[in-house]
């Protein structure tokens, strides 16, 4: 007899070897499911017990799907953050600001469409904010530069 931790994180049992095999066939458990033999204190995977693997060859074991288990950081969000940082540096910052807004916006959209697969919303928001601030700084600098140039030209005539 065994105790088993289900996909919902709850403990079930005691259950028999036959019950565990049935749950594997149904896709409710697999070789990575945690089990504990009766009387033991340590939890191990199903694959750690030969008696549970005895007729596993005939069982269809559902594959683990890593993308559903651990969300990945969205690449567009990261690119938006990098562009946002570069937009605050005054060399070519206008271009980086525009790219940062685009990448961060696309990243946010992708994350919102697939939140179970993608993470990085905070990164995308930070990139968006830095890109907008970088663009605003550039606009102010262009206006100040333009006013300085036109003011200097007007005083020389």
Query: What pLDDT digit, counting tens, does each position of 21-79 carry?
Result: 888 777 778 888 899 999 999 999 888 888 887 555 555 555 544 444 568 999 999 99
Structure-block tokens of residue 32: 């990575």
Does position 133 have pLDDT exceeding 80, yes or no?
Answer: yes
State pTM to two decimals. 0.54
57 & 81 share domain: no
122 & 149 share domain: yes
Domain of residue 32: give its range: 2-63
Does position 88 have pLDDT exceeding 70, yes or no?
Answer: yes
76 & 149 share domain: yes
Mean confidence (pLDDT) of the chain: 85
10 & 82 share domain: no
6 and 28 in contact (C-beta within 8 Å)? yes
DSSP 59: S
Structure-block tokens of residue 75: 């690449």
56 and 31 in contact (C-beta within 8 Å)? yes
79 & 18 share domain: no
């Amino acid at each position: 007899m065994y105790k088993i931790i289900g996909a919902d994180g709850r403990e079930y049992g005691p259950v028999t070897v036959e019950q565990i095999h049935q749950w594997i066939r149904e896709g409710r458990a697999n070789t990575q499911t945690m089990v504990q033999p009766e009387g033991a204190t340590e939890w191990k995977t199903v694959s750690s017990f030969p008696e549970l693997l005895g007729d596993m060859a005939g069982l269809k074991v559902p594959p683990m799907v890593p993308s559903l288990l651990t969300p990945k950081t969205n690449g567009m969000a990261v690119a938006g953050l990098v562009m946002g940082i570069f937009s605050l540096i005054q060399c070519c910052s206008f271009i980086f600001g525009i790219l940062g807004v685009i990448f961060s916006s696309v990243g946010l959209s992708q994350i919102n469409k697939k939140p179970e697969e993608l993470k990085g919303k905070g990164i995308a928001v930070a990139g968006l904010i830095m890109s907008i601030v970088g663009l605003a700084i550039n606009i102010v600098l262009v206006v100040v530069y333009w006013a300085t140039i036109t003011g200097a030209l007007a005083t020389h005539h």
